[in-house]
Amino acid sequence: MKIEEIKRLYSEEIFEALLDRDGSGAGYVCPFCASGAGPKGTGLRPLYVKGVKRPGSYKCFNAGCEWAGDGLDLIAGMYHITEPVEQIRKAEEILRRPLLDRTESIIDEFSKDEKTQDKGNKKPVVINDKLIAEIQAEIQKYHANLLESKAGLDYLAARGISKATAIKYKLGFCDNYNRDGMNTPAIIYPDGPTSYTARSITTNESSRKVRKRKGGEYQDIFNFNVLKDPACPPVVYVVEGQADALSIIEAGGQAIATGGGT
């Protein structure tokens, strides 16, 4: 289990749960020096490293304080907890739900994949806000396309995926998805806040491709949020294809998809 995953997934919620918004409304009142409590006050603001926003990390703008950190660092400072495992337990108490139990094995798998891809080079999380906005706009556009597209809806229906499910998971359709060497009709599966997967639906076997469009270094896991849902059933299937996950969901189960593709 990588502690970075816990930090990445839950830091924002921890700040939100523990701190008051600052006077500017854009950040939080610093719990260590009380900066930001005034009407126009600025306390903790999002942390940028070399111009890139580090998700879930904040920095105090009071020159005399300059505290900086993520959600677990915040817990460490406020409750004087040094052990990471104890910080996570405290985070569970604050967010009133388990953070490790169900996600642990998946995060293990996830970290392994990532390590193979990076060949052991540890890189900071880089999120490109502009690219994410573009990706979200593309997801909207393709979703609107799908609702008008008989070819797209028929393809999904043949795989047992209803229009209601397509709407719920915001699936999309592009009649000629042309990117990274892919040039075919495709179903668009939004995987999460920073990425989607485009899968060819051509009948021509040799043109069938899968492409990921990512706004961050991490690939989102399709339907990952279900693991954080208190109503999540005890068994969640982990599959590769989003359509396979949706078939399980149509049958009354729950599943997440790792996606594959490049």
Footprint of Zn ion (CB under 5 A): 30, 32-33, 35, 60, 62, 65, 67
Cβ proximity to Zn ion: between 59 and 143 the closer is 59
Question: Whole-number minimum distance, CB 34 to Zn ion, in Å?
Answer: 7
Cβ proximity to Zn ion: between 34 and 133 the closer is 34
Cβ proximity to Zn ion: between 64 and 252 the closer is 64
Question: Whole-number minimum distance, CB 47 to Zn ion, in Å?
Answer: 13
Question: Whole-number minimum distance, CB 9 to Zn ion, in Å?
Answer: 25
**Nearest alpha carbon to residue 35 among 47, 45, 44, 26:** 44
Cβ proximity to Zn ion: between 8 and 59 the closer is 59
Question: Whole-number minimum distance, CB 36 to Zn ion, in Å?
Answer: 8
Cβ proximity to Zn ion: between 58 and 189 the closer is 58
Question: Whole-number minimum distance, CB 84 to Zn ion, in Å?
Answer: 23
Question: Whole-number minimum distance, CB 78 to Zn ion, in Å?
Answer: 12
CB 184 within 8 A of CB 207: yes
CB 121 within 8 A of CB 4: no
Cβ proximity to Zn ion: between 38 and 253 the closer is 38
Question: Whole-number minimum distance, CB 215 to Zn ion, in Å?
Answer: 30
CA neighbours within 13 Å on the CB side: how many for 28? Answer: 25
Cβ proximity to Zn ion: between 57 and 195 the closer is 57
